[in-house]
C-alpha cells in the first residue's frame, strides 16, 4: 500500500471551489467533504457517513451542518452527529472525522494527519496570489500520475529545453548547472543563466529584447508545495530589479497514480494588462498540458518498469535526490510514530513474562 506524508497541509482547492454546496476531494486516499458554514468558514469532514458510509458530499448543508442524503444523519461542523431522523437518541459513535482547515490567499489547505500537530503557521507564504502589486493566472489540473513525478519535474527544469521548446524552453537551460541547498524540509534548486534571451512566452509581455540574466529558483516545501522564483534581469543586475515571476505549485496526492495540481503564476510586470493575462493563461495551459502528457506517459513507464530497474540520476538531479531523502525521512518518522502509538496486542501477563 502506498504511504503518504500525512502530517502536513495539502491544498484541497481554491477558495471559490468551496461553497455552501458540499464538494468532495480525495487526498492521500482519504475522501473529504468541504463546505462553508453560514458565516463563510470552510469546513472539512470525512466524506463517509458514520451510519453506512454514504458520501456526505451527496447531501446538503442545513445551517452550519451537513445532512446525509441517504437516511438524513446530520453532522455539525465539528463532525458530531446532531440528528438521526428515525429516532430520538443519537448513537455515541455517530461522528465523522473533522480535518483542520486553513484558508489563505485563495487556497483552502487541509491537514491530513494528527490534528494535534496542525499549526496554521506552517502553511507556506503564497501572498503573491492576492497582492495587488502582482497579477496572477491560475489553473487546476488532475494529473494521472503519482505526486513524486511532479516533484521531480519541478526540481529538474532542464526538461524545459525539450518539452517546452516553444514556450519557456531553450538549449541554454540544460547548459547551466544548479546550486542545491537544504534548509529543514525545504530544498532549493537555483540556476542562473547569464546573458540570454527572454523565454518566448514572456518576451513580448515583458517587452524584453536583447540579452538578460535569466534565473530559476525552485523552492520545494516537502511534500506539498513548490514555489518557483524566476524571471529575467539586466545583465549583472540584482534579481529584485527585474521582471519577476512566482509560480506556486500546490501538489496534492489523490492516490498512488493520481494527483491534484493547483497552479498559480504571479508576475510583477504588465500587471494591469488584461490581454497579457489572457495570452499568458493560454500559453501556460500549453506548458501544463505538455507536462501532464509527459508525466502521464512517464507514469505508464514507471508502472511497467521491471523491478530492479531504477532511475539514473545525474548532476542536474541534485535537488531531486535531496528531496527524496527528506520525503523518505518524513515518511519513516510518521510510520515510527504510528507504530509506537499502536497498543500491543499481547495479553498483559505475557508482556510481563
Ligand atoms: S448512510 Fe448516511 S444516514 Fe444512512
Ligand atoms: Fe514543465
**97 with 18, same domain?**
yes
Q: What is the pLDDT of residue 187?
A: 98
Q: What is the pLDDT of residue 172?
A: 87
Residue 166, domain member (yes or no): yes
Q: What is the pLDDT of residue 349?
A: 46
State yes or no: cis peptide before 223, omega within 30 of 0: yes
- The low-confidence residues of the chain, meaning pLDDT below 50, are 348-353
Residue 336, domain member (yes or no): no
**142 with 273, same domain?**
yes
Give, for ligand 1, the residue of 48, 66, 67, 70 to mutate: max count of ligand atoms closer than 8 Å to Cβ.
Answer: 70
Q: What is the pLDDT of residue 168?
A: 85
Residue 78, domain member (yes or no): yes
CA-based max dimension of the chain: 80
**134 with 116, same domain?**
no
Q: What is the pLDDT of residue 171?
A: 87
End of a domain among 106, 121, 136?
121
**105 with 185, same domain?**
no
**142 with 280, same domain?**
yes
**113 with 206, same domain?**
no
Q: Is the CB of 4 under 6 A from ligand 1?
A: no
* Helix, strand, coil in percent for the chain, rounding step 5: 30, 30, 35
**115 with 135, same domain?**
no
**85 with 222, same domain?**
no
**206 with 222, same domain?**
yes
Give, for ligand 1, the residue of 48, 49, 67, 90 to mutate: max count of ligand atoms closer than 8 Å to Cβ.
Answer: 49
Q: What is the pLDDT of residue 348?
A: 47
End of a domain among 100, 121, 142?
121
Q: How many domains does the chain have?
A: 2
How close is the Cα of 30 to the center of ligand 2, in Å? 28
**103 with 203, same domain?**
no
CA 128 – CA 13 distance, rounded (Å) = 17
Look up the CATH number of the domain holding residue 315.
3.90.380.10
C-alpha cell at 164: 517546452
Q: What is the pLDDT of residue 345?
A: 55
Cα separation values, 130 from 19, 110, 138, 179, 252, Å: 20, 20, 12, 30, 21
**268 with 132, same domain?**
yes
Q: What is the pLDDT of residue 352?
A: 44
Residue 223, domain member (yes or no): yes
Q: What is the pLDDT of residue 279?
A: 93
Look up the CATH number of the domain holding residue 102.
2.102.10.10
Q: What is the pLDDT of residue 233?
A: 96
For residue 284, the ligand closest to its alpha carbon is 2
The length of the chain is: 353
Which are the contacts of 230, defined by CB distance < 8 A and separation ≥ 6?
214, 215, 216, 217, 244, 245, 247
Residue 236, domain member (yes or no): yes
pTM across the whole model: 0.94
Residue 52, domain member (yes or no): yes
Q: Compute the C-alpha angle 340/343/344, nearest 5°.
A: 100
For residue 51, the ligand closest to its alpha carbon is 1
Give, for ligand 1, the residue of 56, 71, 75, 90 to mutate: max count of ligand atoms closer than 8 Å to Cβ.
Answer: 71
**69 with 93, same domain?**
yes
Q: Helix, strand, or coil here: 70?
A: coil
Q: What is the pLDDT of residue 15?
A: 98
CA 31 – CA 9 distance, rounded (Å) = 15
How close is the Cα of 292 to the center of ligand 2, in Å? 8
For residue 55, the ligand closest to its alpha carbon is 1
Are 281 and 239 in contact by the 8 Å Cβ rule? The answer is no
How close is the Cα of 67 to the center of ligand 1, in Å? 9
CA 2 – CA 335 distance, rounded (Å) = 12
CA 278 – CA 7 distance, rounded (Å) = 37
CA 230 – CA 249 distance, rounded (Å) = 13
Q: Which domain holds residue 262?
A: 125-331
End of a domain among 121, 155, 172?
121
Which residue has 540570454 as its cell numbers? 196
Amino acid at each position: 500500500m502506498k504511504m503518504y506524508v500525512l502530517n502536513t497541509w495539502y491544498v484541497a482547492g481554491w477558495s471559490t471551489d468551496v461553497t455552501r454546496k458540499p464538494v468532495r476531494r480525495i487526498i492521500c486516499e482519504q475522501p473529504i467533504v468541504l463546505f462553508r458554514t453560514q458565516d463563510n468558514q470552510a469546513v472539512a469532514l470525512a466524506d463517509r457517513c458514520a451510519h453506512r458510509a454514504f458520501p456526505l458530499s451527496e447531501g446538503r448543508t442545513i445551517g452550519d451542518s451537513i445532512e446525509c442524503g441517504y437516511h438524513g444523519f446530520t453532522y455539525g461542523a465539528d463532525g458530531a452527529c446532531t440528528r438521526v431522523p428515525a429516532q430520538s437518541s443519537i448513537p455515541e459513535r455517530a461522528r465523522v472525522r473533522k480535518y483542520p482547515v486553513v484558508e489563505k490567499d485563495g487556497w483552502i489547505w487541509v491537514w491530513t494527519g494528527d490534528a494535534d500537530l496542525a499549526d496554521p503557521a506552517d502553511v507556506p507564504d503564497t501572498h503573491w496570489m492576492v497582492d495587488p502589486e502582482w497579477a496572477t493566472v491560475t489553473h487546476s489540473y488532475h494529473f494521472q500520475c503519482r505526486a513524486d513525478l511532479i516533484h521531480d519535474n519541478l526540481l529538474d527544469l532542464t526538461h524545459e529545453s525539450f518539452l517546452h521548446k516553444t514556450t519557456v524552453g531553450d538549449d541554454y537551460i540544460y547548459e547551466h548547472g544548479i546550486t542545491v541547498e537544504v534548509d529543514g524540509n525545504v530544498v532549493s534548486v537555483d540556476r542562473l543563466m547569464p546573458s540570454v534571451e527572454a523565454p518566448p512566452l514572456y518576451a513580448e509581455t515583458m517587452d524584453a529584447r536583447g540579452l538578460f540574466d535569466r534565473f530559476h529558483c525552485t523552492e520545494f516545501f516537502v511534500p506539498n508545495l513548490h514555489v518557483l522564483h524566476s524571471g529575467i534581469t539586466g545583465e549583472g543586475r540584482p534579481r529584485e530589479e527585474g521582471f519577476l515571476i512566482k509560480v506556486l505549485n500546490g501538489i496534492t496526492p489523490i492516490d498512488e497514480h493520481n494527483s491534484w495540481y493547483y497552479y498559480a503564476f504571479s508576475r510583477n510586470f504588465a500587471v494591469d494588462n488584461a490581454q497579457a493575462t489572457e495570452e499568458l493563461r493560454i500559453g501556460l495551459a500549453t506548458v501544463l498540458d505538455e507536462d501532464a502528457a509527459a508525466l502521464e506517459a512517464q507514469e505508464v513507464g514507471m508502472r511497467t518498469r521491471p523491478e530492479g530497474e531504477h532511475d539514473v540520476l545525474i548532476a542536474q538531479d541534485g535537488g531531486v535526490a535531496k528531496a527524496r531523502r527528506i520525503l523518505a525521512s518524513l515518511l519513516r518518522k510518521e510510520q515510527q510514530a504510528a507504530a509506537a502509538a499502536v497498543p500491543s496486542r499481547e495479553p498483559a501477563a505475557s508482556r510481563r513474562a
